[in-house]
Amino acid sequence: MKIFITKKIPQKGIDLLKSAGHDITVHSSAVPLSEAELIKASQQADYVLNGGMQKFDANFFQNCPNLKALSLMSVGYDNVDIPAATKHGIPVSNTPGILSGATADVAFLLMLSVSRKAFFNHKRILEGEWKGFDPTAHLGIELNNKTLGIYGLGRIGFEFARKAKAAYNMDIIYYNRSRNIEAEQMLGARYVNFDDLLTRSDVLSIHAALTTETANQFNKNTFARMKNSAILINTARGGLVNEHDLTAALQAGLLWGAGLDVTNPEPMDPDNPLLNMENVCVLPHIGSATVETRDNMALMAASNLLAAIKGDKMPQIINNEVYQ
């Protein structure tokens, strides 16, 4: 079978597909494909493995009639028109679970970095502003026994809450579509409504999927209801946070700080004012960026495709209804 990979992925995934005897074509350029280029390349393939953030809309599926399956090397799938894929009989898979620990580590890194203004203080050294000791300048806040609110307590949110509980004895509250009994039993997590999550959290960490319902969920109205001593963390998708409103809220002192591993758009404009704020830490979407995690994601994405090629159900299927 002919397989097109939209971006260079870890070699273990490519080797797994090659070992099964398939013809692999990889878009190795760092420049993303245009819509026309993506369609042209995919028209020449039987299967596509998406290693980046290419968008697969209704027009894509309409113009790739020979496509048999799409495998995503990611957990999120907001870049894919799932109803259109299902309409055209295309199963779509992702890579859940594997990156939970690595992404939770980045959420923890951001929480701690924001609380101690780490990125800003590092810049002070680079800019020659570290002149000596000042007992009142650029002070952070401590995290011990604070309340951690989780918006979307799935696998990543659970791992982050577990780490925060162990390190700082944080009190865990969460808002979810459904109760997470495991978190309640193991971490003492308490289910609250969305308003309580906003008003009670000392640190509020976002771990939900980006959907039409959650887009811009965190905006000027929600920031106004949060503690002015609160830290906002986002390692999910940039579209959940209105960055213009976040900037205004931070400038007005409605929030203490923010840590972002995801932005909207990506890449972030280097002139974005968030990058120069003392109480903000921004990373370039590195949640899953460890050797071990990316290798395992590539292997899972490849395995999903191999299952489809064999005529089996893709193990990590998103649109299960395509098989019915």
From the list 266, 278, 292, 321, the catalytic residue is: 266
pLDDT of amino acid 5: 98
124 as an active site residue: the answer is no
DSSP state of 321: G
Residue 4's Cβ-side half-sphere holds a number of Cα atoms within 13 Å equal to 22
285 as an active site residue: the answer is yes
* Phi, psi angle pair for 254, to nearest 5°: -75, -20
Question: Which ranges in 32-79 belong to alpha helices (H)?
Answer: 35-43, 58-62
The CA–CA distances, whole Å, from 107 to 110, 164, 288, 291, 304 equal 5, 10, 11, 18, 28
**How far is the C-alpha of 85 from the C-alpha of 92, rounded, in Å?**
7
**How far is the C-alpha of 305 from the C-alpha of 3, rounded, in Å?**
9
pLDDT of amino acid 284: 98
Which sign, positive or negative, has the C-alpha torsion 226, 195, 182, 71? negative
DSSP state of 274: G
Residue 11's Cβ-side half-sphere holds a number of Cα atoms within 13 Å equal to 0
DSSP H/E element including 160: helix 155-168
**What residues pair up with 171 in beta bridges, in sequence order?**
147
207 as an active site residue: the answer is no
pLDDT of amino acid 53: 86
Listed in sequence order, the residues at least 6 apart from 174 whose beta carbon sits closer than 8 Å to its beta carbon are: 149, 150, 151, 153, 157, 161, 180, 183, 189, 190, 191, 192, 197
DSSP H/E element including 308: helix 291-309
pLDDT digit string (tens) for the chain, length 324 residues: 999 999 999 999 999 999 999 999 999 998 999 999 999 999 999 999 999 889 999 999 999 999 999 999 999 999 999 999 999 999 999 999 999 999 999 999 999 999 999 999 999 999 999 999 999 999 999 999 999 999 999 999 999 999 999 999 999 999 999 999 999 999 999 999 999 999 999 999 999 999 999 999 999 999 999 999 999 999 999 999 999 999 999 999 999 999 999 999 999 999 999 999 999 999 999 999 999 999 999 999 999 999 999 999 999 999 999 998
**What residues pair up with 259 in beta bridges, in sequence order?**
233, 281
Listed in sequence order, the residues at least 6 apart from 55 whose beta carbon sits closer than 8 Å to its beta carbon are: 35, 79, 80
**How far is the C-alpha of 220 from the C-alpha of 241, rounded, in Å?**
10
* Phi, psi angle pair for 218, to nearest 5°: -105, 105
Q: What does the DSSP assignment read for 182-248?
A: HHHHHH--EE--HHHHHHH-SEEEE-PPP-TTTTT-BSHHHHHHS-TT-EEEE-S-GGGB-HHHHHH
**How far is the C-alpha of 315 from the C-alpha of 303, rounded, in Å?**
8
From the list 27, 116, 207, 237, the catalytic residue is: 237
pLDDT of amino acid 52: 86
Listed in sequence order, the residues at least 6 apart from 198 whose beta carbon sits closer than 8 Å to its beta carbon are: 149, 204, 222, 225, 226
From the list 27, 116, 207, 285, the catalytic residue is: 285
- How many CB atoms neighbour CB 248 within 10 A? 14
Q: How is residue 225 written in tokens?
A: 């209801």
Considering the entire predicted model, what is its pTM?
A: 0.94
